């Protein structure tokens, strides 16, 4: 390996670190903090990157201590629950957050990876088209959803929230996968048009309301809407394939067979829709 090749490898493996030193008093709009934007910037250009403290334009280094340059690997540290739009529209690289993070994380995302070691607020991966988001804490509402007035939510990609989630998970989602490790609130899959939602801890009420297509899987009992009809108990092969896929990311979805089966419901009949809800039924 020659000197030039070594230099390229070292540059590729470098990381940009942003450490919060001044907590914002009002929401901080930081949509430019993205691997796509920072990958070609030197240290001074990153420090001078414009962000908005409410309506006021500020420099990034007025809130963050910046280390590193020219990398699509970004690590952020601190309580960022008032920092919004991180990773908006990103297409590559990885954004890692050590702490809580604010609204619109990974909105319009088209590639790359986001990992949060803490909680995340509303609109995680809203209208994303590809990529992976993993939140190791709780998530807010409208995960993978379409914004108000939009006809479609996420169109591809994967969102995994290890903890609980808020309202309207998967609102109008068209494709992709959402996994909620804990319990979700009302209206999971509201107006869902495709894709897959996995609920490891079940959900509250009105699951699948007005869903047109798509699949919702719950490992806990659900209070079904009267517009959903029970179809059968089954052992679909696709569940076995899905379980093996999720096992690779640490999600334990039971395979149908001797340990239990899935009870299948179709709906929402009020639309009318052709969605599917599978509820795990352990063997007695």
pLDDT for 257: 78
- Name the nearest CA neighbour of 107 among 128, 92, 121: 128
The answer to whether the CB of 277 falls within 8 A of the CB of 262 is no
**CA dihedral sign of residues 237, 168, 151, 100:** negative
Mean pLDDT of the chain: 93
pLDDT band at 168 (very low <50, low <70, confident <90, very high): very high
Record the tokens describing residue 152, joined without a space: 């479609």
Mean pLDDT of 67-91: 97
* CA–CA dist 123, 167 (Å, integer): 10
Percentage, residues of the chain above pLDDT 70: 95
Least confident of 206-210, 224-228, 254-258, 265-269: 254-258
pTM above 0.85, yes or no: yes
């Amino acid at each position: 390996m020659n000197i030039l090749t070594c230099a390229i490898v070292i540059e590729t493996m470098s990381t940009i670190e942003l450490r919060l030193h001044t907590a914002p008093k009002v929401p901080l709009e930081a949509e430019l903090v993205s691997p796509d934007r920072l990958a070609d910037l030197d240290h001074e250009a990153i420090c001078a990157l414009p962000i908005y403290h409410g309506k006021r334009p500020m420099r990034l280094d007025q809130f963050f201590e910046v280390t590193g340059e020219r990398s699509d690997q970004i690590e952020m540290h601190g309580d960022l629950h008032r920092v919004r739009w991180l990773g908006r529209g990103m297409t590559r690289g990885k954004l890692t957050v050590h702490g809580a993070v604010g609204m619109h994380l990974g909105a319009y995302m088209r590639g790359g990876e986001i990992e949060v070691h803490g909680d995340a607020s509303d609109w995680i991966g809203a209208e994303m088209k590809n990529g992976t988001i993993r939140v190791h804490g709780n998530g807010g509402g409208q995960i993978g959803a379409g914004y108000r007035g939009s006809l479609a939510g996420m169109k591809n990609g994967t969102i995994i929230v290890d903890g609980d989630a808020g309202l309207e998970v998967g609102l109008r989602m068209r494709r992709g996968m959402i996994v909620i490790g804990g319990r979700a609130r009302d209206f999971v899959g509201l107006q869902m048009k495709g894709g897959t939602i996995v609920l490891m801890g079940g959900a509250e009420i009105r699951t699948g309301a007005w869903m047109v297509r798509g699949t919702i899987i719950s490992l806990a009992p659900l209070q079904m809407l009267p517009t959903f009809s029970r179809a059968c108990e089954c052992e679909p092969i696709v569940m076995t394939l899905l379980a093996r896929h999720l096992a690779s990311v640490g999600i334990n979805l039971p395979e149908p067979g001797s340990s239990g089966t899935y009870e299948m419901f179709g709906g929402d009949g009020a639309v009318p829709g052709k969605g599917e809800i599978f509820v795990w039924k352990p063997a007695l």
